[in-house]
Amino acid sequence: MHAATPYDDLTPDLLLDALEACGQRVDGRLLTLNSYENRVFQVGLDSGEMVVAKFYRPGRWTDEQILEEHAFALELAAAEVPVVPPLLLDHDIAPSATVSGRPPTLGHFSGHRLAVSPRKGGRTPELEDPDVLSWLGRLLARLHTVGARQPFEHRVRLDSQTLGWQARQWLLDHKAIPLDQASNWLSVSQQALELVDAAFERIDGLRWRRVHGDCHPGNVLWTPEGPHFVDLDDAGMGPAVQDLWMLLSGDPSERRRQLDAVLDGYESIAEFDWRELQLIEPLRTLRLIHHSAWLARRWADPAFPAAFPWFESGSYWQQQADLLRQQIDLMQPDDRPPIMQGADDWLD
């Protein structure tokens, strides 16, 4: 049942029983939050406070990988980096923590795995404001400073193999691309990934560290006290620029201004390897390919056909091939020094 419809049995009663087993005294208030990968709920407590309960998608991460994500969040919080860490649970519902020696933050209940965190709201940051971008740059530098202390042992490496070649191979093996579009998309994606590999190879001594992994504006919430990061579900080993490029949008001149502001803040805290700017377009390419594979892998979940009805159409795959061709043009190497190669849109 879990493989096809992983949340069919996740009724309100089961959900509230799971929270009670975690040591939370619930009052019945329940709100479903927007999430496709996992199921996330805001739950009211007898105290009047609210918590957020995340039920993890079966089969995506191992217990050790989830606990390693939780440990990173707790480490960041201890270093006063503003994140929302998981709450500690009763050992009875968190048996894997007892085995691993990690804090008991991952609960097991009726075939589901869950984590509970305090509710901390906020709004999307105003990314057109250079002061906001500079603040986010400082926070990311602090996050990366903690992330550089030690590597992940169990979580994934955010590289072309994991996000690109493996995703492409899954789509090929599972015949997920419409037959009339398969040859076109597979050819273009191979060309694009070969250029991604070349871009990474050009940076000698590229530094990999623990990063947020999915630092788009929706995963940064702003409050009167400032911003905080949420959702470390995609945390992995990656270059620092992995957490910067998704904050940038607009035309090339706008992106340059935004990047200048982010890096002004970042470099007031930590050194940034400017060679990594060469990886912005390769990382964007990997996200395009990975997103298509993510949709295909989740297609048996009824939430996905309802939310993405265009996914199986030929026009979607034609559009993706066109986007990859644009990325191929942007990733072409040139004769300038390595720090400048592929950086027309990012460096003055």
Indicate which residues carry an active-site annotation.
214, 231
User: Structure tokens of 292?
Assistant: 């298509």
Helix (H, G, I), strand (E, B) or coil at 32: strand
- Which residue, chain included where needed, has tokens 């795995």? 113
CB atoms within 10 A of CB 336: 11
CB count within 10 Å of CB 61 equals 19
Separation of alpha carbons 276 and 291, rounded Å:
22
Helix (H) or strand (E) run with residue 41 in it? strand 39-45
Q: How far, in Å, CA of 314 to CA of 24, rounded?
A: 48
Give the distance, in angstroms, between the CA of residue 88 and the centroid of all CA atoms in the same chain.
23
How far is it, in rounded angstroms, from Cα 348 to Cα 345? Answer: 8
Q: If we measure between CA atoms, which residue out of 160, 260, 154, 246 comes closest to residue 203? A: 160
Contact 276, 239 (CB under 8 A): yes
CA angle 208, 127, 338 (to 5 degrees): 40
What is the b/e burial string over 14-34, where b = at least 16 CB atoms within 10 angstroms of the residue's CB?
Answer: ebbebbebbebebeeeeeeee
Residue with tokens 């087993």: 21
Spacing of C-alpha 244 from chain mean position: 12
Contact 296/164 with Cβ under 8 angstroms?
Answer: no
Contact 68, 152 (CB under 8 A): yes
